[in-house]
Amino acid sequence: MPLGATWREGDVCSFLAWAPRVKHLEVHLLGAQDRTIAMQPGADGYFCAIVDDVKAGTLYQYRLDGQKVRPDPASKFQPQGVHGPSEVVDPRFAWTDVAWKGLPMHRLVLYELHVGAFTPQGTFDAVIERIPQLKEVGITAIELMPVAQFPGKRNWGYDGVYMYAVQNSYGPPESLKRLVDACHRQGMAVFLDVVYNHFGPEGNYSADFAPYVTDYYKTPWGDALNFDRAQSDQVRRFFIDNALYWITEFHIDGLRLDAIHAIVDPSARPFLEELGSTCHERGKGLGRQVLVVAESSLNNPIVVQKRSLGGWGFDGQWDDDFHHSLHVLLTGEQNGYLGDFHGLGDLDKAYREGFVYTGQYSQFRRRRHGKSSKEIPAEKFVVFTQNHDQIGNRPLSDRLSQILNCEQLKLAAGVVLLSPYVPLLFMGEEYAEPAPFPYFVDHGDSALSDAVRKGRVKEFESYHYDAEFLDPSTEETFLRSKLNWDLQSEGQHRLIREFYQRLLQLRCNVPALAHLDKESMEVKSYNDSGVLLVTRWHDQSRVCVIHHFGDTAIPFEAPLPPATWREILNSSDSYWSADRGRNASAEDNGRAVSQHADPVRVGEAGHRLTLQPFSFAVFQKEN
């Protein structure tokens, strides 16, 4: 029997709850019927009831030992928020994606978005209207920040307390299904960010039912989830069933697991390995690709290594080292963990291997960190110039568009989108959205809001910023994070969007760029000139990308192998200049992209060219 309330045609509803800390459990149906049904105790602390004449949409609560009244820990919907009653949900939906089989990792261009800030309406249905625009740019998958029910109406989503319920301010469950179905019709996959390392602090009543958490371990956000102590089998079931619920009931294509380094589980078969294996098995049973990607600061290849080799078998993981290397090169910032990264050599290693820290001493951690990722396939790393953390965890929550110029933004995009890894964009990045993305919450407990505010201030004490700190608890802070969609058709914003579109076209259509493989790639860095040269090939296709991180123009002798080469993109071309972005008319938008028509015959001496500040050039070998 599935956890929570499961409604079936004929108005029959089953209720299943895990409550070993309770002697007597009742389900109280609210509304016109207003009746209470005793639930039958079973093995391992489960209570169940099968009840007739329950209409979809009925509100209900659990009564614990005749005293406490609580929402269902496995609630499918909380229409009145985290403290209100749960709702019986009709699971039926007219899906149109029967032919959809999902996408493999190497075809992903991920786009991370926050449902509440993505549109003025802040709903699942409003996201649907923007999907064609994302597809036009070249996005192949959206990745939703957590949507599990959290307190209030605005939150990043990492304070969720009802893991099976979609956030009520985003819309009811069927609206998320409409979004997924619409994406699949457009040929786009949908990933969902899930939090399996802690519960949020407000509205979490799970401890009244069972030992979901343990104080044996701690996370930065409180007690850890109980994946290895007494009664942990049932906790594992709760979260693994949750993952399967999103995959099966909502047709989600992939899960992004938040901060798995905060999950402590020394079991012989760790929870994470079991989770990944079970999700993959469910995908096979459904006849479609289901992917599991992790956020991990461990720099440990075990996350993505095959289970047959002792790994956990995840399909991918976020590569923070790649981001940090690139960010330091472009900004010079070295606060906090960025202090471990120092220059072009780090980006060189990130390009070649994935991880930069592979066992050497980390000054930030004050210990050795990481393990070699040389043998990990390129398609298992997700790379980015920005994401919610790398923006929101800055004192001013400012994006790269606010701290870099147009040439640097284009260079950053080229480094990521022409890499052999899976790229991820953060919402609005594709048109240089200027709005900040600060951390925001909407707690009903003022003391909790004060604690969050003080915690953020303390976190940034060492940054010595004089600018105004954005209070996480105010609605104004949240509203400032909203995207301004009108910008992408204006001036420089339109130019950047067109540039991203061109890069993603090259990534898709040039075989050497579409083939994600570290073995068919050579990387060489020139520290004196600030140049990173990347050569990639696949079958007869060969491409050379020359990235220049210097702030002055320099002559450069590119060691292109003897052949005929054509420059297919140069970020310093006048077509991509900031001046054109400022002065171009609306009619200019969509004009054929310029490229150098004349091929270049390169001999033994290589090809001499001038590299402009913060630019890159892409050369393709002609057959």
Mind spelling out the 3-state secondary structure of 69-96? EECCCCCCECCCCCCCCEECCCCCCCCC
Strand-by-strand arrangement of the 600-602 sheet:
521-526, 531-538, 541-548, 615-621, 563-570, 600-602
**pLDDT recorded at residue 468:** 67
Distance CA 503, CA 263 (A): 37
**pLDDT recorded at residue 586:** 46
**pLDDT recorded at residue 591:** 46
pLDDT tens digits, one per residue of 497-526:
999 999 999 999 999 999 999 999 999 999
Residue 621 has pLDDT above 90, yes or no: yes
Q: Average of pLDDT values for 373-402? A: 96
Please name which of 111, 386, 433, 420 lies closest in space to residue 256, comparing C-alpha atoms.
Answer: 111
pLDDT tens digits, one per residue of 423-470:
999 999 999 999 999 999 999 988 999 888 888 877 777 665 555 678
pLDDT tens digits, one per residue of 567-588:
999 999 999 988 887 775 544 5
Mean pLDDT is lowest, of 293-307, 378-392, 580-594, for: 580-594
Cα-Cα-Cα-Cα dihedral of 441, 75, 36, 56, to 10°?
110
Q: Average of pLDDT values for 118-123? A: 98
Residue 597 has pLDDT above 60, yes or no: no
Domains of the chain with CATH codes: 4-87 (2.60.40.10), 105-194+240-257+270-491 (3.20.20.80), 520-621 (2.60.40.1180)
**pLDDT recorded at residue 564:** 93
**pLDDT recorded at residue 588:** 53
What residues are annotated to the active site? 258, 295
pLDDT tens digits, one per residue of 150-206:
999 999 999 999 999 999 999 999 999 999 999 999 999 999 999 999 999 999 999
**pLDDT recorded at residue 197:** 95
Residue 218 forms beta bridges with which residues? 223
Helix axis angle, 406-417 to 320-331, nearest 10° = 160
What distances in angstroms separate CA 498 from CA 50, 258, 312, 402, 577, one per listed residue? 57, 32, 39, 19, 12
Residue 86 has pLDDT above 90, yes or no: yes
Tokens of 574: 């006048």
pLDDT tens digits, one per residue of 230-262:
999 999 999 999 999 999 999 999 999 999 999
**pLDDT recorded at residue 589:** 46
Helix axis angle, 491-509 to 406-417, nearest 10° = 20
List the Cα angle 231/234/238 in 5-degree steps. 145
Tokens of 414: 């080229």
Q: How many CB atoms lie within 10 A of CB 363?
A: 10
pTM of the complete model: 0.96
Q: Let me know: does 425 contact 391? Beta carbons within 8 Å.
A: no
Whether the CA torsion 123, 98, 138, 534 is positive or negative: it is: positive
Mean pLDDT computed over every residue of the chain: 94
**pLDDT recorded at residue 464:** 55
Tokens of 498: 């067109």
